[in-house]
Amino acid sequence: MEAEKIRNLNPQELAEQQREATEQLFRLKFQMKMGQAGGLKKMRELRKDLARIKTIARERELGLTQNIPGATSETPATPQVKAAKPSVDTGGAGNKKKAARKKAAAEKK
């Protein structure tokens, strides 16, 4: 199932699709363990579909997408991320070790 189709589902339909995909995946795994089915490709597709469904459900839960009924696509909101300060290594531990080595060398002389 394509992401666009999943995005156009309402929350109840989305939950139903997730339940169905989970159930189908369980049954297919069970059949493969029993040696009845060789549907590895089908299993991969189901796992990807389930991941898409869960991702879209989580986006909606977090409010990262706008729910616009009848829209073909939704634009995700851009999250505000603070820029990390660049870390400056003053060499704290390295300098102490170097000083200790110099001191030990001086004591040997």
Residue 46 lies in a domain: yes
Query: pLDDT (tens digit, 9 = 90+) per residue, 32-41?
Result: 888 876 788 8
Distance CA 53, CA 14 (A): 7
Rounded CA separation 3/55 (Å): 10
Identify whether 57 is part of a domain.
Answer: yes
DSSP string, 39-106: -HHHHHHHHHHHHHHHHHHHHHHHT-B---TT-S--PBPPPP-PPPPPP----HHHHHHHHHHHHHHH
pLDDT of residue 71: 46
47 near 89, Cβ under 8 Å?
A: no
Evaluate whether residue 56 is within a structural domain.
yes
Q: Enumerate the β-bridge partners of residue 65.
A: 76
**Band of the pLDDT at 19, cuts 50, 70, 90?**
very high
Q: 54 in a domain, yes or no?
A: yes
Residue 51 confidence (pLDDT):
95
Name the residue with higher pLDDT: 92 or 26: 26
Q: Domain range holding 8?
A: 3-62
Within a domain: 23: yes
Task: Count structural domains, the chain.
Answer: 1
Residue 34 lies in a domain: yes
Residues 26, 46: Cα–Cα separation, whole Å: 10
**pLDDT tens profile 53-71:** 999 999 999 998 765 555 4
- Mean pLDDT along residues 78-100: 63
Assess whether pLDDT exceeds 90 at residue 98: no
Is there a domain that residue 107 lies in? Answer: no
**Cβ–Cβ contacts within 10 Å for residue 92, how many?**
8
Q: Quick one: pLDDT at residue 73?
A: 47
Domain assignment of residue 20, yes or no: yes
- Provide the pLDDT for residue 94: 66
pLDDT score recorded for residue 50? 95
Question: CATH number, domain at 19?
Answer: 1.10.287.310
